[in-house]
Amino acid sequence: MTSIHLILRYITSANFPVFNHIRPRFNLIRLCRSYSNEARLFDVNNRINKRTRQKLWNAVLCGVLAIGSISIGNPAAQAAAQQVFQDTTSSYAKDAIAHLVKAGIAAGTSENTFEPKKAVTRAEFATFAVRLLGLKPVKNNINPYNDVSINAWYYGNVAAMTNLSILEGKSQGVFQPNASITREEAAALLVRMLKQSSKSTNLLSSTYNDAGGISDWARPYVQTVYQLGLMRGSDGKFRPHDQVTREEAAVMLDAILQKKTWSDQLKSEDQLGIQLGWQYNSSTAEFKKQIEQSEANTLVPRWFFLNSSMKITDLTDTSLLSWASATDRQVWPLLGNRSNPDLTHQMLSSSANRAAVISQVTSYVKTYKLDGINVDFENVLPADRAGMTAFITSLTTSLHALGAVVSVDVSPDLGTDWTDAFDYAQLGAVSDYMVLMGYEEHWNGDPQAGSVASLPWLEKSLDTMLAEVVRAKTILALPLYTRDWSSVNPAASSWDITLAEQGTRARASGSVRRWDASLVQYVIGYNSNGTPRYIWAEDSRSLSAKVIMSEERNIAGLAYWYMGGETADVWNAISNASRFESYIF
């Protein structure tokens, strides 16, 4: 299959809807799968790999430019690109302004005016930053700031930047959205946007006459933007506390676009890897809707369970399989033991029973043409360690013959007998994926109230597993739930709640919240019938930090327990965190 044929088929597929009128029914995945020499272009989820996609996209752009006859974009965007402002003709920033407006990053203050000398507010700069970085507004269910209305036009942009720690408040819960941004504040934002390390400050005094007026916290940032060529100052002065004007902001941001190595990063495609979503307490129709509203590309319905006669219950819903296939999603049904240690021991300790179960599972995979199986055996006895490894080894061999994969759910290895049955190194070697269930730091019934998954605990848990399991086989599961704790008797009166229920409590009259920087999550306090209760919150902000941490380790993907427990804003936050972390400036 020649490269040009591949390009033509790719650009006329659903990957580029603008070309659908040319060849609307190409299915590139199935077409290229018939060519064995092209198999290397695809990952385990049948998606064309990142490098190839980027090359094809570049080819598409070149082709469009050469042909000159295909118009991409909506009429409003085209009109904005051609907009001429009456008040920018004499501005030193007129070209930069035109570039940003054409790119959809900035807009005029009216149809014919840009007001280049007008000061930029903190909210406006946040909006520019979101657009330049190719991110999505995130309307956090828990508002980070007391002085930012969730109905404000800029709320989603301010929250998006806060989730990524690019923007910070003036103090705990205070953002001052309408305050003008100062030059030293802008320097800090630019450095964080570009993920640059702060430089030493030993050159500031020789560079600027007013270096002594630069705030101590801002000095490394000012030094860095100077060396990057993003901000200079004038007449030997940096003017750290002066307001940034709209034309100044345009020049700063356009400088980023004009540096090819940076702008190429901003044009790259999102690559989330495996995004596994577990079904729980939902019908098939509800599960479909939850998946549609999420980033999940791999479904785990609760279909197969071990029973006392060594038979596997079959709860398969073929309508979900048809829907998943039509929407290019994989299905790895759950094979569970319902946390029954005795029944699990009966199966794992007998080679005949293991073989019988594997035969049934293999038959189901073949009959339903499943993409894989997600093994979720919990509360397994330490004595079954060898049996567990033998079971996964044989199951993987059997399913590989059908082209299906095996993933194994495991708890963090904390050195207790809860995980003694799991030989992480051996299971990681023989299976396709190990799914680390990154929650239950403080479990339901724990005598000590606390977080379900604080970032330090999660980071340590993941690193412990990565010492034994390769990154390419590791999936980190994040909690889309949290726990409501009593301060009087945590063990007896704590219960799981969804993120929506958490938000309702956070907004209730009399509730208080604070951001715990050490745990990287909010702690919410409220009273119920005179008893203080506490929630260590999981929300878009805390989950963003967890996603970034996982992306830094270049693992295979993420999983979510459970679909439907989240609030809608979480998915844009996860997408942003993954995209931002992928940038290498």
- The answer as to whether 355 is a domain residue is yes
> CA quadruple 128, 130, 136, 139: dihedral positive or negative?
negative
| Residue 210 covered by a domain | no
Domain assignment of residue 465, yes or no: yes
Amino acid identity of residue 118, one-letter, is: K
Share of the chain above pLDDT 70, in %: 86
Q: How confident is the model at residue 64 (pLDDT cuts 50, 70, 90)?
A: very low
Least confident stretch, 71-85, 177-191, 412-426, 522-536: 71-85
Q: What is the pLDDT of residue 198?
A: 80
Report the b/e string of 397-428 with b at 16+ CB within 10 A: ebbeeeebbbbbbbbbbeeeebbebbbbebbb
Q: Residue for token digits 């319905």? A: 301
Place of tokens 């940003």: 100
Mean pLDDT score, 108-117:
96
Say if 104 falls within a structural domain.
Answer: no
Residue 6 has pLDDT above 70, yes or no: no
Residues 6+ apart with CB under 8 A from 153: none
Q: Which domain holds residue 384?
A: 274-582
Burial 551-572 (b: 16+ CB within 10 A, else e): beeebbbbbbbbbbbbbebbbb
Report pLDDT digits (tens) over 473-489.
999 999 999 999 999 99
Alpha-carbon distance of 556 to 433, in angstroms, equals: 8
Structure letter (DSSP) for residue 24: T
pLDDT the model gives residue 201:
78
Boundary (domain end) residue, out of 20, 51, 67: 67
Looking at the DSSP bridge assignments, the partners of residue 158 are none
pLDDT of 9 > 70? The answer is no
Q: Do 254 and 229 meet the contact criterion of CB atoms below 8 Å apart?
A: no
Among candidate residues 11, 38, 67, the one where a domain is terminated: 67
Answer whether residue 41 shows pLDDT above 70: no
Q: Are strands 521-528 and 531-536 parallel, antiparallel or unpaired?
A: antiparallel
H-helix segments, 118-277 = 122-132, 155-163, 183-193, 204-207, 219-228, 246-258, 260-266
Structure tokens of 91? 């501005």
436: CATH: 3.20.20.80
Straight-line distance from the first to the last Cα atom of the chain, in angstroms, rounded to the nearest whole number? 35
202 — pLDDT class (breaks 50, 70, 90): confident
Q: Is residue 33 part of a domain?
A: yes
Cα distance between residue 544 and residue 507, in whole Å: 21
- In terms of Cα–Cα distance, which of 284, 300, 286 is closest to 332? 300
Question: Residue 107: is it exposed, middle or buried by C-beta count within 10 angstroms (0-12/13-18/19+)?
Answer: middle
* pLDDT band, very low/low/confident/very high, at 437 (cuts 50, 70, 90): very high
Residue-wise pLDDT tens digits, 516-554: 999 999 999 999 999 999 999 999 999 999 999 999 999
User: What's the structural domain count of the chain?
Assistant: 2
pLDDT tens per residue across span 511-522: 999 999 999 999
> Does residue 165 surpass a pLDDT of 60?
yes
246 token code pair: 């709209």
The kind and range of the H/E element at 374 are strand 372-376
Residue 156 in any domain: the answer is: no
278 found inside a domain:
yes
In the block, residue with structure tokens 């006669």? 309
In this predicted model, what pLDDT tens digit does every residue of 244-290 receive, in sequence order? 999 999 999 999 999 999 999 999 988 889 999 999 999 999 999 99
Beta-carbon contacts of residue 424 (< 8 Å; ≥ 6 apart): 410, 413, 434, 465, 468, 469
Choose among 294, 399, 279, 401: nearest CA to 333: 279
Predicted confidence at residue 45, as pLDDT, reads 45
43 or 318, greater pLDDT: 318
Domain edge (last residue) among 32, 67, 102: 67
Q: Is the pLDDT of residue 73 over 60?
A: no
Q: What is the mean pLDDT of the chain?
A: 89
Read off the pLDDT band of 60 (50, 70, 90): very low
Q: Which of 467, 465, 484, 485 is nearest to 475 (CA)?
A: 465
Position 210, amino acid: D
Asked whether residue 186 is domain-assigned, the answer is no
SS3 534: strand
Tokens linked to 568: 């809608």
Predicted confidence at residue 200, as pLDDT, reads: 76
> Hey, CA dihedral for 449, 454, 460, 463, is it positive or negative?
positive
Which of 106, 142, 110 minimizes the C-alpha distance to 126?
Answer: 106
Looking at residue 51, its pLDDT comes to 42
Q: Which of 277, 166, 285 is nearest to 571 (CA)?
A: 277
Q: Quote the pLDDT of residue 203.
A: 82
What predicted TM-score, i.e. pTM, was given to this entire model?
0.86
Contact criterion met (CB below 8 Å) for 246 and 117: yes
Mean per-residue pLDDT for 302-308?
A: 97
pLDDT of residue 36: 34
C-alpha Rg value of the chain to the nearest Å: 27
Which residues, including other chains, have CB under 8 Å from residue 169's CB and lie 6 or more apart?
Answer: 144, 145, 162, 175, 176
Residue 562: what residue type? Y
**What does residue 524 show for φ and ψ, rounded to 5 degrees?**
-110, 135
CB distance 11 to 19 below 8 Å = yes
